Chain A
């Protein structure tokens, strides 16, 4: 048992932290958030140079071949800096999806281009009406000769607008809700029939609902066997969930730090408000939540690649439930302890709070995961 990062992991963390603290301050965040695209290609190039985009790309595709612990080491910094660029969507989740098909040329080529920052890909999987159920795919792919024709609607696809390629899941067999019969396709975002209804999310990131209207792709853009894509998709989503947990813990740490600083500075009734015991105890409660959340972010990173799917999902659901609850408490109380200032757009606090709110809503909230955990442990 050991909770230290390796030298390599620490170096990666230090490099990312240094870059973000020097180059990705609050003003830069606000400027990027207010820009038309909502992300900055220059930042993306810098991240590529730092190796962030290559972390989990296999060495054979020019990547660093690292895993979830390296992702964990740097995700907290992304959260703390409110990074808007699609690291989670492209460099973690889409990369994890493609790794499962790295022995196929299209996936391998895309991975190589993603490692250098040249291409961005995102997974377009969840659908309207599915909430967080991953097998709830009703988008259809019909084979005609040497091509497929895709029709359907993908909901809240993070960073779809930034992507060159969408990894679209679609049913080639069975009915909505079946675990079998889901296939995966590489779809150029600019392909005819791909329509994006793009918007910012609550925390200032970008997303889109993606409509596929008779989109034609060659048969060769299907990844893997027909109808067998759900397992690799779920595996990639679990790797993404672990990374999201680490991002959220970085945000919680930032909020605890900022709130401690604020109650030390803010004077009322002739004292810093941190003298008031009710606020001291609130901060103690926040720290307790933060440390439990941090423990679970480690668990998530350590187990998200577990071959035993039951063990993997138990750990990840436990982690997401704890982190969702902790994030809600830490976020709400940070705002509360900042008083009226916490309500303003001017302070970073409100932006961290919104990022935690978004994290709670992604990949299943605490209740969904609590319920899933209860189901997975029935009889254990």
Chain B
């Protein structure tokens, strides 16, 4: 038993660090490290940098143009990237649709879609949730009806993340209304420029436009855009849910945000002393830090076990629950650290590309501007990707079995 990474893994970490030092521009990392959102072009630019280095297909095997990393290497990359202020990887292309295309797509589909994902030429989004199908995803109603060599799609998707930037959407649609819920679902790839698609922003409590409703009205989708067989889409979607869950805890991002919390708490004052010396606040920081440490080791245990066989137990759900709880605690402490200066809510101060205007001093410290919004935004973590309550159902199913 040992905690340290192997020599090869340490060398890999160095390689990643070196890449980040050379390729990650400070105008991007400054935004990430200070909690600002990035735009489409910044994300795609980063994807192209990764692609040039041969790392565009994160998590992909070499045969599909990926770097062929194992899950430990991916973990190391994600940790280093997060600590350096690298953009979070938008998962819908590389980590979600790509593995499905690799496992169940035709050779033609693989050649058509995968290279453009890796190269940052096409942005993908996800069309799963519907107004009436959240945790109970299989009750989805969006219909696809065969018409010659096309499907005609009608319905509504919601909670679509960053679809306003997307070129493509992968959708679960109902192709057999008579079949049992899971059985009548098909997995389609739909071009976002198709006639009949309307994207409507949903403004969230932080004032941001991160998610959308997407309406499909008589949208014609060529049959060759179907993944695998008709009515087998649920199987492919489930494969996706079980795929690549070891990064789910977001350890690197949590470490970065914890460091930011400590920096801010050292600058803030209470009774004329740094807030970080207040025993109660210090204890709260210590609590989240040890919780994160425990989760990090748990994550490493899962990674180490995966070297032999993929995790089949409740590990991913444990990582999701604890990871999201810890991220939420940190974001809440960050907000509370700045006290009353978490109150001013100026949307323009939170957006990517916001240039600090020296003639207009922000009220309070600059770092305070985004903290309440980010606390609000982080509440999503325990809701998306299978609510934490659904995760507990999964754990219980596995160990109680009733």
Contact = CB atoms under 8 A, between A and B. Distances in A.
A23 interface: no
Interface string B1-21: 111111001000000000000
A371 B305 CA distance: 33
A322 B294 contact: yes
Contacts of A2: 1-2, 304
Interface string A1-40: 1111110000000000000000000000000000000000
A302 B402 CA distance: 37
A16 B117 CA distance: 54
B6 A280 contact: no
Interface stretch (B44-52, B149-157, B172-180, B277-285): B277-285
A374 B283 contact: yes
Nearest to B259: A380
A43 interface: no
Which residue of A275, A293, A322 has the most chain B CB atoms within 10 A of its CB atom?
A: A322
A378 interface: yes
Nearest to A374: B286
Contacts of A374: 279, 282-283, 285-286
B304 A1 contact: yes
Nearest to A317: B290
Indicate the member of A263, A272, A318 with the most B CB atoms within 10 Å: A318
Contact of B401 (A4, A264, A277, A291): A264
A318 B290 contact: yes
A263 B401 CA distance: 11
Interface stretch (A54-62, A84-92, A282-290): A282-290
A161 interface: no
If over half of B's interface residues share one DSSP class (helix, strand or loop), that class is named, otherwise mixed; here it is helix
B7 to A, nearest CB: 12
A42 B267 CA distance: 62
B160 to A, nearest CB: 29
B298 interface: yes
B400 A3 contact: no
B290 A370 contact: yes
A377 interface: yes
A281 interface: yes
B95 interface: no
A239 to B, nearest CB: 16
Contacts of B402: 263-264, 272, 274-275, 280
A284 B401 CA distance: 12
B79 to A, nearest CB: 13
B346 interface: no
Contacts, number: 125
Contacts of B391: 284
Interface residues of B, number: 44
Contact of A373 (B3, B290, B304): B290
B321 A280 contact: no
B381 interface: no
Interface string A265-308: 00000001011010011011101100111111011011000000
Contacts of B2: 1-2, 302
A1 B6 contact: yes
A69 B295 CA distance: 21
Contacts of B300: 1, 3
B393 interface: yes
Contact of A263 (B283, B293, B298, B400): B400
Contacts of A299: 3, 293-294, 297
Contacts of B393: 277, 280-281, 284
A370 B1 contact: no
A62 to B, nearest CB: 26
A280 B396 contact: yes
Interface in A312-329: 318, 321-322
Interface string B258-278: 000000000000000000110
Nearest to B402: A274
A1 B4 contact: yes
A318 B294 CA distance: 8
B395 interface: yes
B285 to A, nearest CB: 7
Contacts of A370: 283, 286-287, 290
B314 A287 contact: yes
Contacts of A3: 1, 300-301, 304-305
Interface of A: 1-6, 69, 260, 263-264, 272, 274-275, 277, 280-281, 283-285, 287-288, 291-296, 298-299, 301-302, 318, 321-322, 370-371, 373-374, 377-378
Chain A to chain B: the 9 pairs with minimum beta-carbon distance, closest first = A280-B396, A295-B297, A284-B392, A374-B286, A284-B395, A318-B290, A292-B294, A274-B402, A281-B392
Interface of B: 1-6, 9, 72, 276-277, 279, 282-283, 285-287, 289-291, 293-295, 297-298, 300-301, 303-305, 314, 317-318, 321-322, 389, 391-393, 395-396, 399-402
17 contacts: A1-B4, A1-B6, A1-B9, A4-B1, A274-B396, A280-B393, A284-B321, A284-B396, A291-B318, A292-B295, A295-B298, A296-B294, A298-B1, A321-B290, A322-B291, A373-B290, A378-B276
